[in-house]
Structure 1
Amino acid sequence: MSNFGRKADEFVYVAAAIGPWAFIITIIVIVGLIKGCLPDKTDPMDNSINKAREILEHVMVRDSTDNGFRVVYATKNPVTDERYKEIRSREHIRDGFERLKEEAPAHFGGSLLETDICDFALYAYRFHIDDDICIHNIFVAGVEKMVFYVQPNPNLENCVTRMNYGTEQGNQYLNEQDINIYIPNGGRRYRYWKCRFLLQVSDTDERFSHFTADEKLH
């Protein structure tokens, strides 16, 4: 019998003599010993406690008038710095981003100015590029399209009616949880960037301002 086997038997005999709780603890110890003897199959590139989800790319999907959407891709899971660099280096991911830029406008008839962000999100979520990445956010992009969301709001006194393209406050966007690809229309939830709680989400595409001059970011 090997030395490891003799030690395991000794643990079992002692645990049986002491009682059931000690026996359970002993089983846990034995399992730990066995796991310690098994080879670690973790890729060295992933073997670190220092992991985080990382933003991969801001992909500008626009039509011939420069209107459309900014799609923010991130790693699907927390990754090490080494794995992040490896993912960024994958040529097929770069090719996928270029395909999305080219194919999305054509899918929506050549113009994205009037394309609903939820309809676009359904298309983009189903546009598979790589299993290790996912869409983190989608923002409306383009001067004409972003201006929709700083139109006068008759129900909001002193609302801002000029888009700040630096902060993008009030611009329409989606989070990664806002679209459900398993239902026909994906669900309908529209968000407005950096607006106060009661005005930051709507069930319809509200093409007007959602913040006041007092709430404006500087």
Structure 2
Amino acid sequence: MSNYNYQTQTLLALAPKLFFIIIVAVIFLKECFGEKPDPMDDSINASREIVEQLIVADSTRNGFRVVYATENSVTKERLEEIRKRPVILDAFKRLKADAPFYWDNMIETDIYDFAEFAIKYDSDPAIRIHNIFIYGYQKVEMYARPNTNIPNCVSFINPNTGQGIQYLSHDDIYYRDRKNNRIYRYWKCYANNSTSSTDERFSHFSESQRIW
């Protein structure tokens, strides 16, 4: 057997062992010199979490409920740290103070116009607006008005379920053309009554569809 063939066979025989040794060495070096995760984030028990449900309302207590969630999955410990960040708390405070000044009467304020205003107060990439819901007795009652297209339509909205109130999704807020392509959504309503292209201020479900 030639010397060349002998060396080739030897390398082929050793290849699996060499591959294993290289993998072990890489893992060892990563453990020794790689960036260590913050212990606060080092857990398999992580998920996207609600950070705050911020009520932004005028003097009549009508306006919007802004639901903020974490952008990524986080541990409970990281969630509590995020909730205490001064930059986030300050942004919440300013939004609550500035919106009623900007709109003296938030009963008539369009939810998309409010969304356009609210995202200007995004202060930390760790959180984003998850939903915006209308808020307040008078504002909610506009979506319990008679709808001649729905037999036995509801005449009141249960505050415990919020069924029928108007809201926006995360994608509506951040990715939709908020000026020219508006889709208004109605919480826990169905089929064609779950959305509209204009702000339809009447009931969007019947008593038989009520979820209580």
TM-score range, shorter chain: 0.7 to 0.9
- Pair 1:96 & 2:54 matched: no
Which 4+ runs in 1 deviate beyond 3 A? 13-16, 18-34, 180-184
* Shift in Å, 1:79: 0.5
Q: 1:141 to 1:29 in 2, by over 3 A?
A: same
Q: Matches of residues 137-152 of structure 1 in structure 2 within 5 Å?
A: 137-152=131-146
- Pair 1:48 & 2:46 matched: no
Give 1:178's aligned residue. Answer: 172
Q: Distance in 2 between matches of 1:185 and 1:15?
A: 71
* Shift in Å, 1:54: 1.0
Give 1:61's aligned residue. Answer: 56
Q: Distance in 1 between matches of 2:88 and 2:10?
A: 55
Q: Matches of residues 111-126 of structure 1 in structure 2 within 5 Å?
A: 111-126=105-120
* Shift in Å, 1:166: 1.7
Q: Distance in 1 between matches of 2:136 and 2:91?
A: 22
Aligned residues: 205
Q: Which residue identity lines up with residue 63 of structure 1 in the other structure?
A: D
Q: What TM-score do you get using the length of structure 2 for normalisation?
A: 0.84
> Are the counterparts in 1 of residues 172 and 178 from structure 2 also a CA contact under 8 Å?
no
> Are the counterparts in 2 of residues 125 and 181 from structure 1 also a CA contact under 8 Å?
no
* Shift in Å, 1:19: 11
Give secondary structure in 1 for the equivalent of 2:107.
coil
Give 2:75's aligned residue. Answer: 80
Q: Which residue identity lines up with residue 93 of structure 1 in the other structure?
A: I
Gaps of 5+ in 2: 1-7
> Are the counterparts in 2 of residues 158 and 213 from structure 1 also a CA contact under 8 Å?
yes
Q: Distance in 2 between matches of 1:154 and 1:182?
A: 30
Give secondary structure in 1 for the equivalent of 2:60.
coil
RMSD: 2.8
Give 1:5's aligned residue. Answer: none
Give 1:7's aligned residue. Answer: none
Deviations 1:175-206 (A, max 9, x none): 11112468462741111011123321122111
* Shift in Å, 1:34: 4.1
Q: Which residue identity lines up with residue 113 of structure 1 in the other structure?
A: I
> Are the counterparts in 2 of residues 67 and 141 from structure 1 also a CA contact under 8 Å?
yes
Identity %: 47
Q: Distance in 2 between matches of 1:81 and 1:15?
A: 54
Q: Distance in 1 between matches of 2:45 and 2:167?
A: 30
Gaps of 5+ in 1: 1-12
Give secondary structure in 1 for the equivalent of 2:78.
helix
* Shift in Å, 1:27: 6.8
Q: What TM-score do you get using the length of structure 1 for normalisation?
A: 0.82
